[in-house]
Amino acid sequence: MIKVLRTEEEIRGFRENLKKRSTDPDFAVERTVRTIINEVKTGGDEAVKSYTLRLDCDEAPYYRVPDEVIARCLEEADDEFISSLKRCAYNIAAFHEKQMDEGFCVTEKNGVIVGQRVRPLDKVGIYVPGGTAAYPSSVLMTAIPAKTAGVGEIIMVTPPRKNGTPNPDIMAAAKLCGVDKVFLCGGAQAVAALAYGTAEIPKVAKIVGPGNVYVTMAKKLLFGLVDIDMIAGPSEILIIADKTANPSYIAADLLSQAEHDVLASSVLITDSDEIAAKTARELEKQLEELPRKGMIKSSLINYGAAIVVGNMDEAVALTEEIAPEHCEVLAENPLEYIGRLNNIGSLFLGEYSPEPLGDYFAGPNHVLPTNGTARFFSPLGVDSFYKKSGYVYYPESALKAAAKDVALIAGREDLTAHANAVKIRIKEGLF
């Protein structure tokens, strides 16, 4: 079921196949999303509601979820679930509070003052899947960093269930996290509504959160009108394992990622032929006990692999090239890999740190760069909800000292008006 790869040619072919999951443009999806965006731009709320009735449900008792409905979902939720959510929320908040940035101000001896202001965004939209696949954890991972940053208003959009009502688990999480407004709409139409603003849905500065291919395409097309978190592709895990690793743990963690999507990728890199073979057998064994085995099997056949390398240095080097969303290290001394792995979204160290800890509980964000973009993108965090600006104060004496340099460089760039803006302030013959 899972391929065991050893040669450079096999590994290169596998990596090329992985890239096709996200990089091949789907022009049909793009055309559809452009049509939806234009209809929402001109038709506003009515266009959004029309798509909701067409795609999500036959009737919708409300568009904006009443505050009392959200509160009731929290009140009526079972205590065990809410207790778990609260413990997760505590860890997520504690982690993200350490990311706070207060800016700086520097006063030089010559009277110059320079600094940077850090300010939260005024309005942010969070997209939360809510139809057949409902993820209250996505509420926590998007709303808590926004709240920590001090965002003025958090607007959630989430598709209704088939009966037109909101998913109660998502509403409970929204109430717990202090989301300000919730609208029952999803897909590209919800993203467009947040980007342009409608009579009822506020225009936001940034849209974050996971979604299907239509949501992702809408975010991509609307970037520039509104900021987004990232262009996310299918989920992925890469596990680095040495001969001391437990094959049953490796298999369980590969399977946990493969159940997300038929396009999800689950990869093992090991320096042990024995570990690769035992993991392949464990995958077959554990798969039979899982409800989503059809989807998982498809994912593993098409985008799963056990790659056998010569040593752990080679494993690290290949991981750095692949730049996975999630990376686990199951090795004799896992902590030594913290400083060796740079191109990863989130790192899980040791045999008792499975990736689902990061999805729900540990604290670091689970909105992560995929498809190799961990080379240059970061996870969602508090700084995702900030905007920064610098400020400058120069007294006359400091400007005189800098005038020649500014004027010289401006002149080299043929920007004479720039140079003149300095020269006109200098009364003495410095030029």
Q: Which residue out of 39, 326, 328, 351 is catalytically annotated?
A: 326
Q: Which residue out of 39, 236, 282, 325 is catalytically annotated?
A: 325
- How far is it, in rounded angstroms, from Cα 356 to Cα 211? 19
Q: Give the chain as a 3 state SS string.
A: CCEEECCHHHHHHHHHHHHHHHHCCCHHHHHHHHHHHHHHHHHHHHHHHHHHHHHCCCCCCCCECCHHHHHHHHHHCCHHHHHHHHHHHHHHHHHHHCCCCCCEEEECCCCCEEEEEEEECCEEEEECCCCCCCCHHHHHHHHHHHHHHCCCEEEEEECCCCCCCCCHHHHHHHHHHCCCEEEECCHHHHHHHHHHCCCCCCCCCEEECCCCHHHHHHHHHHECCEEECCCCCCCEEEEEECCCCCHHHHHHHHHHHHCCCCCCEEEEEECCHHHHHHHHHHHHHHHCCCCCHHHHHHHHHHHEEEEECCCHHHHHHHHHHHCCCEEEEECCCHHHHCCCCCCCCEEEECCCCCCHHHHHCCCCCCCCCCCCHHHCCCCCCHHHHEEEEEEEECCHHHHHHHHHHHHHHHHHCCCHHHHHHHHCCCCCCCC
326 counts as catalytic:
yes
- How far is it, in rounded angstroms, from Cα 81 to Cα 45? 34
Active site residues: 325-326
